[in-house]
A and B are shown apart, each in its own frame.
Chain A
């Protein structure tokens, strides 16, 4: 099940291709980073959108030149305590200006959703509990933040606060 950043729940309409599966002629597919390296030529000529599953050990700069080819990048949290994908997400958004869907997969917990969205994720692979417990609420627990926004929208607090305090 997929949670979108606007709080709506939906189903995943992508097909996640195994490394040994044949590449279908059409349809939405994601491939692993290893498969992308191996079959880049075949994958590039397909007309339909392509997604990439990037392990948290690969640096975003290693795929920077291919980003325009991907409509979806899936980053992984093998354990919720392993926070490497937060840095990957922020770099993809701010340094490499990736504009497509950025999805969090793995050990995605309700109380990490806001951190994830703040780093640039906009979809989240979640379990059945998300429906029962209304996880969408997690996005609105805060409306003020001390850090600069990842999407470059809106001012950073250390600039914004100057005006009312010190007109």
Chain B
């Protein structure tokens, strides 16, 4: 895990002091709310329906037990004892008092954390693979690049007032576990023909009102040049991105109105004209940052697999958890574990302070002190020995963290919606809860299934990429839900298509049940929903959904 040096500490302390003074000026009446808004937004502080919401940055989803315990403390002392993980792998606290925010930031700074640029029209948190460093299909650990980008993008003087927010994701493995193509800018690490490491750069993805998948603009950028290339992408966006219409201001609109080829040409010209050497990343710096992510000192003694088999045979609930939430690890005898935050009937992505402390203890005892946040709003323990899985599951289960539903139909991605958010047009949490309750009994039979739900067009719940997506909208004073089918994240990313008229809130669980019933009838050997949907088309689903009952 990356550790702050004196430089980082000094920077973060200066940032806290700067923000403390801004809040002081606001409370003293020197700043109007209009003037203060952009300042608090540079720090992830939103004014929502009931209170201030603070979004704490978790750079590329990396946490350790010290950070987890501090977050638990903050949740207890300054909020209502719980928090909510977002699809940007950040943590939101929804019941915050403005006058306490400088102290919260000071507490965060003491454990090398902050809330910088978790909102505002600038770089947002860079995300990557929650299995980084432990995945067998990985070319190289993507986290050093994510950290270098974090540093360079922090309070960037040229790019802090872009037309709109800007999100970057990095993938360095065969499978894309970071949904890279839905980002403003995505980086795929690969080797060119000469065997050198570099990135394919994709630009212009984004969901919201006008969803687009990012398109390739450059097949290979040497890794030393990645910052200058990103800078060129941003400078073209800063110059030409639309500022007259909030809904058309994201880079996806620019890329798709110019056309990806023309945009790429503009970037290339800008890049070639720029002083690339000025921000070429020194090889030694990459190596030094990479050293911070060196693998832990694994216990390589043999694992008693027979004992694990016996525990699974004796305990079907444990066996089910192993099947669903335990993933292969590149080091023999180890596993990567998903801690589901999707207990059926609870708010997806929420965690209590007590649960967070349990995760911190388990990380210390069983995972070299480390945990990660996945964009699916779950947590990951990256270094668990297989002979500790049973102990781990028992303790997770006791803390209501043992839910066995990773990638199943109850593992729903869901934004906070109208229960908290000032932008929302409909509730999402209670609807997701009803869907989960309705479908839970069938989830093993259904298998992999991703439902994603947003409470407004901004699509924080990634509904366009759900196998089934739900968008809550308000129509004549009623909350109704528009259904999209066939979305997918990762390398096979696809944007779902709207199936027909929106359904009433009460009817959503039955509608999902009907659609999944058709899928189960029509699927062929091992097909996931998007494959079946592509093969058979929309008609059978539409017919069943809108059949008179």
Binding site for B on A (CB under 8 A): 59, 80-84, 86-87, 90, 94-95, 109, 111-112, 114-116, 118-119, 133, 141-148, 150, 156-159, 161-162, 164-166
Contact = CB atoms under 8 A, between A and B. Distances in A.
Contacts of A146: 11, 151-152, 154-156
Nearest to B227: A158
A118 B157 contact: yes
A159 B64 CA distance: 28
A95 B274 contact: yes
A130 to B, nearest CB: 12
B397 interface: no
> Which of B154, B161, B281: most chain A CB closer than 10 A?
B161
A88 to B, nearest CB: 9
Interface string B137-151: 000000000001001
Interface stretch (B14-22, B44-52, B172-180, B516-524): B14-22
Interface residues of B, number: 43
A81 B157 contact: no
A157 to B, nearest CB: 7
Contacts of A164: 5-6
Per CB-CB distance, the 5 closest pairs between chain A and chain B, nearest first, are A83-B161, A118-B157, A115-B157, A141-B18, A86-B158
B4 to A, nearest CB: 11
10 contacts: A80-B161, A83-B161, A86-B158, A86-B238, A118-B157, A141-B21, A146-B11, A147-B152, A162-B288, A165-B288
Contact of A83 (B10, B154, B160, B275): B160
B119 to A, nearest CB: 13
Interface in B1-34: 5-7, 10-11, 14-15, 17-18, 21-22, 25, 30
A48 to B, nearest CB: 33
A147 B152 CA distance: 6
A96 to B, nearest CB: 10
A119 B157 contact: yes
A91 to B, nearest CB: 8
B159 interface: yes
B306 interface: no
> Which of B17, B39, B285: most chain A CB closer than 10 A?
B285
Given A142-B11, A142-B14, A166-B284, A83 B273 contact: no
A86 B161 CA distance: 9
B38 A81 contact: yes
A83 B288 contact: no
Contact of A143 (B14, B35, B274, B275): B14
B162 interface: yes
B441 interface: no
Contact of B282 (A94, A116, A159, A165): A159
A143 to B, nearest CB: 7
Contacts of A148: 278-279
Nearest to B274: A95
A147 B7 contact: no
B152 A82 contact: no
Nearest to B18: A141
B121 interface: yes
B281 A158 contact: yes
Nearest to B25: A133
B158 A90 contact: yes
Given A84-B238, A87-B238, A119-B157, A144 B288 contact: no
Contacts of B97: none
A80 B285 CA distance: 35
B333 to A, nearest CB: 33
B239 interface: yes
B226 to A, nearest CB: 12
Contacts of B80: none
Given A142-B18, A166-B284, A166-B288, A87 B235 contact: yes
Given A83-B161, A83-B162, A86-B238, A144 B14 contact: yes
